[in-house]
């Protein structure tokens, strides 16, 4: 994440292994003539996806506009126009997509979903396809699914040294609950997989329950929720806990029963990693209370709360240096950070190295709270969000926004990028 452009082959043994297994499987499927595989012969679809993947896009949107089709990529979380495609070429593309993703062309009056694989010599990507009818035309969304980046290296997440130290300490005594909070798309899942991956998963019993499984992690027993067959998360969790796992991963808690089962598992000596939708560490505690988890059980099991968001990282080759403005200075001063002589903005025109975007990759900004006796007690007592937040600051744990300001000082990101996510004048969760 700190550098999404890290080559897969640099990111450790396990992902490489899973990549290889997946690749081999995909080639066997292709040799059997499986229709779901998009290989080099399928043009223009293969070529379009190849360009998107080379640009590290996560999504491709294809929409009819007049007599053309607009093709846009989402790169580093931002939509960029790739090209306007002549309608004839686009129609050929749409048919290829529908065949590969097994979407019934004759029933194009409702939104449809399918899945296929893009296969090159040395890599394979799962592609999730959604089609939406638009008058007589069709809009298509392709999601390029990638395993979380930098799985083996928690140092690459963007944690500050003292945060990393807290996380490492808790991983050395694997017991209790580590929660990762943040909004949608804040990199929470990548963080818990990276934490899980610090263990030798081959030598312990690690289980996870997911909805859906987006990528396979070697040696982790991953179970998928299947609501159509009445296999829901609380049932799955109970089944998994009967295996007496050393490590339980719950990538997303959505309902009350799962929340309580997950937290209880942590009380009974399992090591549990989970994420929850929240704005910061204090509101993550409240998110559990909303899901009817009693404060005493939560306070007794929580070890570390990590809250996070993602900012784009400036392209180091073309970022532009400037003196901090009066407003910038005021922000640094309010968060008690020495005002730097210079900070950096993105170059609007970019350069060759960043494909003219001015940014390359994204990195996490974090609030990491080590839950000690005092904080545990405050949670058990049901302290209000604002009170908890005050206690965290007293103990020296800075807000996500403050961690963002640190990244501005380092020149990793820009002030406008940070202010795009947070409005310091409003204050509250994530900021104060």
Residue ranges binding Zn ion (CB under 5 A): 315, 317-318, 350-351, 353-354
Per-residue 3-state assignment (H helix, E strand, C coil) for the chain: CCCCCCCHHHCCHHHHHHHHHHHHHHHHHHHCCCCCEECCCCCCHHHHHHHHHHCCEEEEEEEEECCEEEEEEEECCEEEEEEEEEHHHHHHHHHHHHHHCCCCHHHCCCCEEEEEEEECCCCEEEEEEEEEEECCEEEEEEEEECCCCCCCCHHHHCCCHHHHHHHHHHHHCCCEEEEEEECCCCCHHHHHHHHHCCCCCCCCCEEEEECCCCCCCCCEEEEECEHHHCECHHHHHHHHHCCCCCEEEECCCCCHHHHHHHHHHHHCCCEEEEEEECCCHHHHHHHHHHCCCCHHHHHHHEEEEEEEEEEEEECCCCCEEECCCHHHHHHHHHCCCCCCCCEEECCCCCCCCCCCCCEEEEEEEEEEEECCHHHHHHHHCCCCHHHHHHHHHHCCCCCHHHHHHHHHHHCCCCHHHHHHHCCCCCCCCCCC
Q: 308 near 365, Cβ under 8 Å?
A: yes
Shortest CB 350 distance to Zn ion, Å: 5
Shortest CB 355 distance to Zn ion, Å: 8
Minimal CA–CA distance to 164: which of 141, 194, 189? 194
Shortest CB 312 distance to Zn ion, Å: 12
Nearer to Zn ion, 5 or 334 (CB): 5
Shortest CB 179 distance to Zn ion, Å: 36
Backbone region of residue 421 per phi and psi (left: phi > 0; alpha: psi in -120 to 50; beta: other values): alpha
CA gyration radius for the chain?
Answer: 23
Shortest CB 80 distance to Zn ion, Å: 14
Shortest CB 357 distance to Zn ion, Å: 7
Nearer to Zn ion, 195 or 318 (CB): 318
Nearer to Zn ion, 79 or 320 (CB): 320
Shortest CB 248 distance to Zn ion, Å: 42
Shortest CB 414 distance to Zn ion, Å: 13
Strand partners, 133: 138
Shortest CB 360 distance to Zn ion, Å: 7
Nearer to Zn ion, 174 or 361 (CB): 361
Nearer to Zn ion, 350 or 382 (CB): 350
List, in order, residues 6 or more apart from 54 with CB less than 8 Å away. none
Shortest CB 340 distance to Zn ion, Å: 21
Q: Give the residue nearest to Zn ion (CB).
A: 315
Nearer to Zn ion, 75 or 302 (CB): 75
Handedness of CA 39, 45, 48, 52 (dihedral sign): negative
Determine the Cα–Cα distance for residues 427 and 399; give it in Å rounded to an integer: 11
Q: Which two tokens stand for residue 10?
A: 């640099």
Nearer to Zn ion, 251 or 361 (CB): 361
Shortest CB 28 distance to Zn ion, Å: 40
Nearer to Zn ion, 265 or 354 (CB): 354
Nearer to Zn ion, 278 or 347 (CB): 347
Nearer to Zn ion, 268 or 352 (CB): 352
Nearer to Zn ion, 169 or 353 (CB): 353
């Amino acid at each position: 994440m700190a550098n999404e452009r890290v080559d897969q082959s640099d990111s450790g043994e396990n992902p490489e292994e899973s990549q290889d297994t997946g690749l081999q499987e995909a080639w066997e499927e292709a040799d059997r003539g499986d229709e779901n595989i998009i290989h080099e012969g399928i043009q223009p679809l293969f070529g379009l996806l190849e360009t998107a993947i080379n640009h590290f896009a996560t999504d491709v949107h294809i929409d009819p506009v007049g007599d053309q089709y607009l093709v846009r990529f989402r790169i580093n979380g931002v939509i960029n126009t790739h090209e306007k495609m002549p309608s004839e070429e686009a129609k050929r593309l749409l048919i290829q997509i529908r065949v590969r993703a097994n979407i019934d062309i004759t029933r194009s009056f409702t939104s449809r979903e399918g899945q296929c694989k893009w296969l090159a010599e040395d890599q394979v990507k799962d592609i999730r396809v959604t089609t939406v009818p638009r008058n007589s035309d069709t809009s298509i969304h392709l999601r390029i699914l990638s395993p979380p980046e930098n799985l083996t290296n928690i140092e690459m997440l963007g944690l500050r040294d003292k945060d990393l130290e807290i996380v490492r300490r808790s991983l050395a005594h694997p017991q209790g609950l580590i929660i990762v909070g943040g909004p949608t798309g804040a990199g929470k899942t990548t963080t818990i997989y990276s934490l899980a991956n610090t263990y030798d998963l081959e030598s312990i019993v690690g289980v996870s329950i997911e909805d859906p499984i987006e990528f396979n992690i070697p040696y982790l027993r991953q179970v998928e929720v299947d609501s159509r067959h009445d296999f829901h998360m609380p049932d799955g969790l109970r089944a998994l806990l009967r295996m007496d796992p050393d490590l339980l991963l719950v990538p997303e808690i959505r309902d009350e029963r799962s929340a309580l089962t997950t937290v209880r598992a942590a009380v009974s000596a399992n090591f549990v990693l989970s994420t929850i939708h929240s704005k910061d560490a204090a509101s993550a505690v409240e998110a559990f209370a909303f899901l009817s988890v009693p404060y005493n059980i939560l306070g007794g099991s929580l070890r570390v709360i990590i809250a996070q968001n993602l900012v784009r990282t400036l392209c180091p080759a073309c970022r532009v240096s400037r003196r901090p403005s009066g407003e910038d200075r005021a922000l640094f001063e309010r968060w008690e950070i020495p005002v730097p002589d210079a900070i950096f903005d993105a170059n609007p025109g970019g350069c060759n190295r960043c494909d003219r975007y001015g940014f390359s990759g994204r990195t996490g900004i974090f609030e990491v709270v080590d839950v000690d006796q005092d904080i545990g007690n405050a949670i058990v007592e049901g302290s209000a969000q604002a009170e908890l937040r005050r206690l965290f600051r007293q103990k020296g744990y800075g807000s996500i926004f403050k961690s963002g300001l640190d990244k501005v000082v380092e020149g990793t990101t820009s002030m406008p990028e940070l202010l795009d996510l947070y409005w310091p004048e409003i204050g509250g969760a994530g900021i104060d």
